[in-house]
Amino acid sequence: AIIGAYSREGKYDSALNILQCMLDSELKPNARACNIVINSLGKAGKVKLAFEIYDLMKSLGHAPDVYTW
């Protein structure tokens, strides 16, 4: 919910920070959280960073879906 709220406000950096906090706390972000951050980064023109999150998503065992693309 927090990642989505930041993304809706165009605050990709805050959404990314929450994702990192989850990882630091040994919480596994789900595919939806990853997709939201990827979408937010794409809208901000941060394509390289979006693909880094895509790679992270796959490393967490989540398969890309229609929303990812």
Question: pLDDT tens across 46-61, in order?
Answer: 999 999 999 999 999 9
Tokens 């989505």 belong to residue: 4
**Residues in the chain, total:** 69
pLDDT of res. 42: 94
Which pLDDT does position 13 carry in this prediction?
94
Which residues does 50 contact at the CB level (< 8 Å), separation at least 6? 37, 38, 41, 42
Tokens for 29, please give them: 């972000």
* Cβ-contact 65, 31 below 8 angstroms: yes
Question: What pTM did the predictor assign?
Answer: 0.91
Residue 69 has pLDDT above 90, yes or no: no
pLDDT per residue over 1-49, tens digit each?
A: 899 999 999 999 999 999 999 999 999 999 999 999 999 999 999 999 9
